[in-house]
């Protein structure tokens, strides 16, 4: 009996994070492009840790750069900011808070208003007062693995 419970608990560990996450196609059918109101697009959407932003565009035409609030306002990215360039860029939201993205090509951000600012909320079911781990890897571990391991241990010793 305990082995079947363990099996189902392990399946839950693997499946639960992917079921709860949402993939958002930035800009919907039109994708990542100039002269589109990304703030209006984001309004009413609830972005949570574990969700993914998918930036779709023709490769070589645009880029995606994650910036801070100042970089968003000024349409500038630090030299250290990695440019995503595949045309099908997936950004997994790994921590709560404000997030900013711009196109780093020419004046697409300044003139074309090709920029997106969102607020990421904690994942569904995550305790509101949980401390935020400092690294991406530890966040992924804590958000999903710790509660599941606790459940497994409880099942094994009950």
pLDDT in tens, 108-141: 999 999 999 999 999 986 555 444 444 444 444 4
Q: Which residue has the higher pLDDT, 157 or 132?
A: 157
Query: What pLDDT, on the 0 to 100 scale, is given for residue 129?
Result: 47
Confidence (pLDDT) at 138: 42
Does 146 or 70 have the greater pLDDT score? 70
pLDDT of residue 139: 45
pLDDT at 47: 98
Residue 155 has pLDDT above 90, yes or no: no
The answer to whether 62 and 102 have CB atoms below 8 angstroms apart is: no
Provide Rg for the chain, Cα atoms. Answer: 19
CA distance 15 to 63: 32
- Asked if 133 and 142 count as a contact pair (C-beta separation under 8 A), the reply is yes
Q: Residue 61: CB partners within 8 Å, gap ≥ 6?
A: 87, 105
First and final CA of the chain: distance in angstroms?
A: 11
Task: Report the C-alpha gap between 121 and 128 in whole angstroms.
Answer: 10
Express each pLDDT in 31-82 by its tens digit. 999 999 999 999 999 999 999 999 999 999 999 999 999 999 999 999 888 9
Burial-class residue 72 by CB neighbours within 10 Å (0-12, 13-18, 19+).
buried
Q: Which helix (H) or strand (E) holds 67?
A: strand 64-67
| Whether residue 18 has pLDDT greater than 60 | no
pTM beyond 0.75: no
State yes or no: pLDDT of 143 exceeds 60: no
Domain 2-156, second-level architecture:
Sandwich (2.60)
């Amino acid at each position: 009996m305990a082995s079947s419970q363990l099996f189902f608990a392990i399946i839950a560990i693997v499946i639960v994070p992917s079921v709860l996450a949402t993939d958002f196609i930035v800009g919907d059918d039109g994708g990542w492009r100039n002269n589109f109101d990304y703030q209006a697009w984001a309004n009413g959407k609830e972005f949570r840790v574990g969700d993914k932003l998918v930036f779709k565009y023709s490769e070589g035409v645009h880029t995606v750069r994650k910036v801070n609030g100042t970089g968003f306002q000024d349409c500038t990215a630090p030299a250290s900011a990695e440019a995503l360039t595949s045309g099908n860029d997936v950004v997994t939201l790994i921590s709560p808070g404000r997030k900013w993205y711009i196109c780093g090509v020419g004046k697409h951000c300044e003139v074309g208003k090709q920029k997106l600012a969102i607020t990421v909320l904690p994942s569904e079911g995550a305790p509101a007062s949980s401390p935020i781990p400092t690294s991406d890897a530890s966040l992924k571990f804590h958000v999903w693995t710790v509660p599941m391991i606790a459940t497994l241990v409880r099942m094994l010793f009950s």
